[in-house]
Amino acid sequence: MAIATTSPVTGEVLRRFDELTPDELEDKLARAAAAAASYRLTSPEERAGWLQHAAERLEKEIESVSRMITTEMGKTFRAAEEEVVKCVRGLRFYATEGPAFLRDLSGDSGRVGAKQTFVTYQPIGPVLAVMPWNLPLWQAMRFAAPALMAGNVGLLKHASNVPQCALYLEELFRDAGFPDDVFQTLLISAGRVEQVLRDPRVAAATLTGSEPAGRSVATIAGNEIKKVVLELGGSDPFIVMPSTNLDRATDVAVKARCLNNGQSCINGKRFFVHQDIGDAFIEMFVTKMDALVVGDPMDEGTDVGPLATESGRRDVESYVDDAVSKGATVLLGGERPPGPGWFYPPTVLTGITPEMNMYHEEVFGPVAQVWTVPSLEEALREANGHPYGLGSNLWSEDQDERELFVRDVQSGMAFINGNTTSYPEIPFGGVKRSGYGRELSDLGMREFMNAKTVWVGQDA
């Protein structure tokens, strides 16, 4: 895949970028290793100051950066602004809380026969981040901010269709005052990730992307005995029970399915509705999905822009066509609109069965699958039958139902009466084939640190 900015609105290639030559890549790796040796000696307070400077600059450039995001991957300008604001929040969170996360953790010295014992958290060196295009700034930022606060060095291999976002991040951290080469962007193809990950100067990796990509990186990292964090696919369940406010639940259901043009791992994708409110939910949900405006993502009135890539739209069409050919019912949408660009309409399907590909996989576009179920237990059984386990969502005012959901849903995150999202303050990650490890919060920062045990004996 060429490294280029291609408009999802028109399909026109707007700008091409040269891939790094072998010598250029070697130079970047050498500089990353050299930077890691000195950057680890900087103080948490210095790093926090640089993160604050990055937040200040990014906040001043929200409009231009948001336009860049929308141009490269097609999300609405409003959604791009929200993404940039979240990045500012993430930078400030780690600048404020990061020093406390790095404090030594004292142990019970007497129980282990020591004068003193503690755990000290130390950086491990250059970390490779393989990032996707759907949240081109936030996905990278939730790696970069904690990694830089921890004293690690970042190497970003971003998706090939968002090179301007990738290069902007390197510029942002450099201009914020971070030492040279502490954060570098690698404009390379996916086929060269293995070379970088196997390089002995690279300490670990984090990947957000597809399950096949995760399998590949995990295999290489395992062979090299290197730590890796994986955030892979999601086909999140959205469960609605009779005790909830149906109008509010359907409002959020529409947002959950179509946010980011339906291209997010934590979008609600499978909707399980109690049979007592099934007809009412479906009528309200379809009406509200139908009211969404599909169009130019730069227009203020647009709710859903184009899908990011032509191949992505083909994949969505394939899932829908396969389901329809095997008996699914289309309540809304289901056909690409005429004209240029990679648009696909909000779509609602019922009658999804295990014979259909979308039953088992992730549909990365504004396509909702709806089931009616007789009970929460049945909803959980269906929800947990999927190979992914990233986020999950319950709408209920019943405390017993909430407790059952939290106890039994197989997911890394469980949201009740609110849309599944990510915050710097709380851990983010999944189970099963959605990956392992955690991003964000103190846990995300410590994923790529050496928790070194220190034991000091009694004086002689």
The answer to whether 341 and 8 are in contact (CB under 8 A) is yes
**Euclidean distance between CA atoms 184 and 32, whole angstroms:** 8
CA nearest neighbour of 309 among 7, 59, 78: 7
The reply to whether 265 belongs to the active site is yes
**Euclidean distance between CA atoms 249 and 241, whole angstroms:** 10
Give helix 376-384 / helix 399-408 axis angle, nearest 10°: 20
Q: Which two structure tokens, joined as six digits, stand for 330?
A: 């289309």
CA nearest neighbour of 84 among 141, 134, 149, 145: 141
Give the count of alpha carbons within 13 A of 68, CB side only: 20
Q: Which candidate in 81, 231, 439, 447 is catalytic? A: 231
The kind and range of the H/E element at 132 are: none
Q: Which two structure tokens, joined as six digits, stand for 188?
A: 């390379």
Q: Which candidate in 83, 265, 362, 447 is catalytic? A: 265
The reply to whether 317 belongs to the active site is no
Q: What is the DSSP string of 43-90?
A: -HHHHHHHHHHHHHHHHHTHHHHHHHHHHHH---HHHHHHHHHHHHHH
Q: Is 379 helix (H, G, I), strand (E, B) or coil?
A: helix
Residue whose entry in the numeric block shows the structure tokens 């996707």: 132
CA nearest neighbour of 173 among 36, 53, 12: 53
Compute the CA torsion angle 10, 15, 19, 25 (nearest 10 deg). -120
Looking at beta carbons, which pairs linking 54-59 to residues 24 or more positions away fall under 8 Å? Answer: 54/91, 54/172, 54/173, 54/176, 54/178, 55/88, 55/91, 55/92, 55/95, 57/172, 57/175, 57/176, 58/84, 58/87, 58/88, 58/91, 58/172, 59/88
Q: Is 305 helix (H, G, I), strand (E, B) or coil?
A: coil
Residue 415's CB is within 10 A of a number of other CB atoms, namely 21
Catalytic residues: 231, 265
